[in-house]
Structure 1
Amino acid sequence: MKSFYDLIFFKSTGFKDYFLNEEEEPMSFLPKFNKINIIVGANNSGKSRFIRNLMSFQNLEGVIDLAKIRVFVPLYNEQVAEANKLIESNITTYQYRSDNTYYSGGTNPDLQNVKLLSNNYLKTLDIDLFKEFSSIINANKNSINNLSHLGVKNLYLRDFNEIDNLFLKEYKSIKRYYIPTLRTAHSLFNFDLEKYSKIETDVFLKTLNNYYKLDKIDVEVFTGIHLYKEILNARNSKREIRQSFEKFENFIGKYFFDNKKIDIVAEFNKDESLIGNNNLENISVYIEGDKETRELYELGDGIQAIIILMYKIYMAESDSFIFIDEPEINLHPGMQRLFLEQITENKDLEKKNLTYIITTHSNHFLDLTIEKENVSIYSFSPKKIINGDKQFIIKNVNRGDNKLLQDLGVNNSSVFMANCSIWVEGISDRNYIKAFLKSYCHSVGKSYPKEDIDFAFFEYAGSNIDHYIFNDKVEKEDVEIVLNDIKALAISNRIFLLADSDASKQNSKKGLRLKELEDAKVDNFIPKVIWNTREVENLLTNEMWKEILIEFCNKTLVKSNEADILLKIDKAFSEVDYSGFAKKYVGEFLEEIRNKMGKISSTFIVNQSAYEVKSDGSFGTIINKRELSELVFNKNFSWEILSKNKEIEKLTIEIYNFITQKK
């Protein structure tokens, strides 16, 4: 099941100025609400106002308290494919009678009073009645033919007991935290009567309350000004709170102090405090092995910024909503990546089941989200002004849709803020290199280099370099221009360029061009052509394919014959060696495996749709390169397995040494 829902607002006046896509009626739901929801748009496009409205949900007239927000959960389950079609475009509910009452059901309901609402279904949705309808369906499964006029298929009704809990989700007693743009890790001081005195009042919070009346909302606002007191209380609180704080300390130690144990302490001088001297309230960081303790204000702005963001997230109650305005403030692109990786992948935070609503102006932050499954992006833009009120358009951008990024002028600008860059043809190659590097670093006990700080990936597919490498019709002057451009870029940024040979012979036109690329090598530009395989995908081994091949098998057959299919996979790989396909297309290999594994109940086990089948009957490359690379990346193959392929071993060590500037 997908992680996103449609978040329902129920006739909310708070969103009367917001419109989905080009609809004429104000929005009544937010489509594909996810674990992480990122809101982007130009200044004054309604982003911050939107999340404040969402935070103040309980105070809007006629709106259900945010603590009881109801969510409609679409179905994404192969067993109920027919229901998927139905629920994606419609919602089953009761039809109003002339007297504005609903039909209340019973053991033998008048099913003619049930209708399907299409187009803007959520505007008239009543969740409680939907629940009631589901109960009626379950009580009357023997009468399912009576619903045939609705287009409801038997499969939907038969499985209703199993899927009923996927339709609806209720958030109860939601705790909300807000991290605004007004935030700092510093205590604030005032100079008065020839001495400095700490400002005890959270002036940031007072300012926000004055502007936006946040004190009227049941939300905890964290500006960081009282970080000292937060830490003091956390270190002297009950065990579960202290454990959360220890996990936060471990995070800071791991990523900023070479995995050393650290202690973050709110220093307290009892005697001075008793006489009213609070100027000595400092936050200090002790790092294992250091002679002296460091003061928090002496650390870099980036570390202080990440502390403000991550502290409240680590300390948040489970199942909370976290609202953050512009997390990129004072964050280098590498720190932005670190922040996003923590909220999407950190196991301790995953257990908290937190939901994030984030506004951002960072192109780089947006670019990073393309890799993530549990992220939804919403583009906000002005619509028009009616009676002095500004209106806004909201568009949801699905994962993998790069149009929004292009519209915002997104490019790999972080390449020039990192110490070096790795140029690859596309995202699949990037995933392979990351998988290889992480496994290698783990095996030798080294820290994985910080992406976008120590190095950054640059995908050159679609650019001049891609045209130069792969297009047979390249003019001589194009070659010279491209090589000169690369060398010019390499002056300010060290470049490692990885290129597939596509099994080209070195004396072919393409081969000669790739050889010219290799010959252009200089100290800051290292071109690497993989001559011995067609594509990076060809570096995989039998052992790796055995672990992932089941993902390319018929899902229905796997469900009922998994043990038998696993045995067939083992047998097929004992007869077919992937290394023999090093310079062939992946599809040729998969076709042979497909024939070796054969059929179950007249159906081939391996899906031929996974790879290209050409009109002449030959077979091409795998169709979804990204999916294959993600399967490899997520398997976390050990270096013992990866290094069995000497090409992987050589390439990985070469890239690692390039990043770390080892010869």
Structure 2
Amino acid sequence: MYTLKLHRNIFFYIDTLRSLKNLKSIENTKNLVSPLLLRTHQDYRFSKEQIISGEDFFDFLTDSLLGMPEERQRIYDYQVQLSHYFFNNEIITLIPHRKEESLHIKIGEAKQFPISQLGDGLQQVIILTYKAFLTTEPSFFFIEEPEMHLHAGYVKQLMKFLLNETDHYYMATSHSNYLLDMINEDNRIALYRVDKKQMNDEENKYETVIKRCDGDRTVLQTLGVSPSSVFLANCTIWVEGITDRLYFVQYLKKYLEELKEIDKTKWEDYSRFIDGYHYAFVEYQGSNLEHWDFEVDSLEAVDSSKNKGLNAILITSNALVIADADLTKKPRFNELEKQLGDKIAITQGKETENSLPKKFLIKKFFEMCPDNGLAKQGNKKKLDYSDDYEKYFTDSYQTSTKGVGKYFDNVLSKMRKDGVIPKLENNEKSFTFSNGKQGTIKSKTGFCRDIVELMQSESWKLTPSATELCESIFQHIKANNY
């Protein structure tokens, strides 16, 4: 838990009253007035230096470009990040046009034009990011409804910009359901709900109640979200369940990081894709995949009364199915392969967990394994890690037909054979990591969340099998986003 010591001058407030258009008017023929800034100052009593309305960006940009070299460099860096996050990597130039006393923008090879002609959403993006990016001292930003005028996909892209490219603290009020699924993607984000509660049954007396609600589904109902509100992305990535989705979110992020170092061109191509806009995840829940039909020639062919009656292409867009390797042994696989062609990707090992980095599996092994290896004392003292035990962990799990739970059980068995863990006495049962004959890890969801937390806090590299799956996903996304 971080404790932030905030000084008086590093609070910033961004109200819903914001614009890059030239709204200044002359008052008493002497003083220029910024009406949005003035209105916010009068309403909320923040100092004018703390309020970000967008009206000062012309002067701010002019002063920076005419200032010290480091100020000009900071503006250049800001334009590069704007390009990367919001303009598909086209070169962006922000220009203070002195004669017109207005901001201009140049995008790629196009002619420059007044920024007022830019879409309202992209104008909002600039207002919400310029002060945050150009302010180097860690600060606290209060933002009212950052999603205002933004496309759903760009709401998440804006949050990623603020989280990844700035070093500040943010508190935002929002009515956007598109922000909610970022809670699982980034542990730096927390969701709170603010309600009013009547005090002691007294009429017209209420207290404010603030409650953390990261997993509270009633928030969606409060926001008025219904099935008809779902935004269809240009293509979909079908994964077995929530654990696979959480893994793949981290895989794709790491794949982009690794690409940036080895293939800048491909990184620029792939990094422009936005979750929720260019692509979206669908969870098909294991054997339920058999119920889906990925090939419907006409509406006359629709027949939901059949076992295989759920028509995927009628309710989701351009699907890529990622399936566990054991699907290839089932009768349904041949039909799915015929329908999907190259739009089905099979894990090299039994399931997605078999593509996890070995260093995290080793860490989880010692967090879970009791020092005596007994089933009844599985929650007591854990086995201490030693470099000498590394030899028990090979890469065989990555292509194994069994899950990582079975892989762990085999490691435990070898340690017991070598005397690292005491041999079983009469009537004693061994601790097990696996759940069933297929060797899937026990407490799969909790195991996943622990791994994801490690992925977000430690350095790591993708395994070859994970890299292959990521490339398949990005190729699919690219093919469906021209």
Q: Considering only aligned residues, what root-mean-square deviation do their CA atoms show, in Å?
A: 4.4
Query: Equivalent residue for 2:477?
Result: 659
Q: Deviations over 1:512-540 (max 9, x none)?
A: 34544444449xxx752637642122234
Question: Is the counterpart of residue 528 in structure 1 residue 360 in structure 2?
Answer: no
Query: Equivalent residue for 1:220?
Result: 50
CA contact (8 A) 1:174 1:321 kept: no
Among 260, 274, 287, the alignment partner of 1:451 is 274
What TM-score do the two structures reach when normalised by structure 1?
Answer: 0.56
**Deviation for aligned residue 1:659:** 1.2
Task: Give the structure with higher Rg (CA).
Answer: 1
Among 308, 321, 331, the alignment partner of 1:497 is 321
Query: Equivalent residue for 1:285?
Result: 105
- Cα distance in structure 1, aligned partners of 2:304 and 2:441: 30
- Cα distance in structure 2, aligned partners of 1:372 and 1:531: 25
What one-letter code is carried by the residue in structure 2 that aligns with 1:214? Answer: R
Among 470, 473, 488, the alignment partner of 2:314 is 488
- Cα distance in structure 1, aligned partners of 2:285 and 2:194: 28
Query: Equivalent residue for 1:204?
Result: 36
Query: Equivalent residue for 2:358?
Result: 545
Among 410, 416, 419, the alignment partner of 1:592 is 410
Query: Equivalent residue for 1:250?
Result: 80
- Cα distance in structure 2, aligned partners of 1:222 and 1:556: 53
Query: Equivalent residue for 2:298?
Result: none
Query: Equivalent residue for 1:295?
Result: 114
SS of residue paired to 1:221: coil
Do the aligned partners of residues 481 and 240 (structure 1) sit closer, same or farther apart at CA in structure 2, a change above 3 Å counting?
same
**Deviation for aligned residue 1:222:** 1.0
Query: Equivalent residue for 1:568?
Result: 389
SS of residue paired to 1:248: helix
**Deviation for aligned residue 1:587:** 0.5
- Cα distance in structure 2, aligned partners of 1:556 and 1:530: 30
Question: Is the counterpart of residue 422 in structure 1 residue 258 in structure 2?
Answer: no
Q: Deviations over 1:138-192 (max 9, x none)?
A: xxxxxxxxxxxxxxxxxxxxxxxxxxxxxxx64444521100111112113789x
- Cα distance in structure 2, aligned partners of 1:478 and 1:238: 71
CA contact (8 A) 1:439 1:637 kept: no
- Cα distance in structure 2, aligned partners of 1:441 and 1:410: 37
- The count of aligned residue pairs is 437
What one-letter code is carried by the residue in structure 2 that aligns with 1:488? Answer: L
Query: Equivalent residue for 1:374?
Result: 188
**Deviation for aligned residue 1:566:** 3.5
Do the aligned partners of residues 568 and 438 (structure 1) sit closer, same or farther apart at CA in structure 2, a change above 3 Å counting?
same
Query: Equivalent residue for 1:184?
Result: 19
Query: Equivalent residue for 1:479?
Result: 307
Q: Deviations over 1:14-52 (max 9, x none)?
A: xxxxxxxxxxxxxxxxxxxxxxxxxxxxxxxxxxxxxxx
What TM-score do the two structures reach when normalised by structure 2?
Answer: 0.74
Do the aligned partners of residues 410 and 595 (structure 1) sit closer, same or farther apart at CA in structure 2, a change above 3 Å counting?
farther
- Cα distance in structure 1, aligned partners of 2:188 and 2:472: 33
**Deviation for aligned residue 1:358:** 0.5
CA contact (8 A) 1:424 1:430 kept: yes
What one-letter code is carried by the residue in structure 1 that aligns with 2:403? Answer: Y
Matches within 5 A, 1:7-156: none
Query: Equivalent residue for 1:319?
Result: 138
**Deviation for aligned residue 1:453:** 6.0
Question: Is the counterpart of residue 460 in structure 1 residue 283 in structure 2?
Answer: yes
- Cα distance in structure 2, aligned partners of 1:296 and 1:219: 23
SS of residue paired to 1:416: coil
Q: Deviations over 1:527-558 (max 9, x none)?
A: 52637642122234xxx31465235434999x
Query: Equivalent residue for 1:162?
Result: none
Structure 1: 5+ residue stretches without partners = 4-70, 72-168, 192-196, 270-279, 470-474
**Deviation for aligned residue 1:428:** 3.3
Among 7, 10, 13, the alignment partner of 1:175 is 10
Structure 2: 5+ residue stretches without partners = 293-302, 371-382, 424-429
- Cα distance in structure 2, aligned partners of 1:188 and 1:462: 53
CA contact (8 A) 2:102 2:114 kept: yes
CA contact (8 A) 1:431 1:630 kept: no
**Deviation for aligned residue 1:283:** 1.4
CA contact (8 A) 1:440 1:652 kept: no
SS of residue paired to 1:318: coil
Percent identity for Structure 1 against Structure 2:
24
What one-letter code is carried by the residue in structure 1 that aligns with 2:244? Answer: D
Q: Deviations over 1:450-479 (max 9, x none)?
A: 22365232232569956947xxxxx99353
CA contact (8 A) 2:79 2:92 kept: yes
Question: Is the counterpart of residue 268 in structure 1 residue 94 in structure 2?
Answer: no
Q: Deviations over 1:628-653 (max 9, x none)?
A: 35645776766xx644x4xx565444
CA contact (8 A) 2:15 2:144 kept: yes
SS of residue paired to 1:264: strand
- Cα distance in structure 2, aligned partners of 1:308 and 1:652: 34
What one-letter code is carried by the residue in structure 2 that aligns with 1:220? Answer: Q
- Cα distance in structure 1, aligned partners of 2:323 and 2:228: 21
**Deviation for aligned residue 1:391:** 4.0
What one-letter code is carried by the residue in structure 1 that aligns with 2:102? Answer: N
- Cα distance in structure 1, aligned partners of 2:234 and 2:69: 42
Q: Deviations over 1:594-633 (max 9, x none)?
A: 44467999799xxx9994466x9x9532531243356457
Query: Equivalent residue for 2:376?
Result: none
- Cα distance in structure 1, aligned partners of 2:228 and 2:72: 40
Q: Deviations over 1:451-510 (max 9, x none)?
A: 2365232232569956947xxxxx99353431x2x12124xx322232335x2563xxxx
**Deviation for aligned residue 1:423:** 2.3
- Cα distance in structure 2, aligned partners of 1:292 and 1:600: 75
**Deviation for aligned residue 1:219:** 6.5
- Cα distance in structure 1, aligned partners of 2:337 and 2:184: 31
Question: Is the counterpart of residue 512 in structure 1 residue 335 in structure 2?
Answer: no
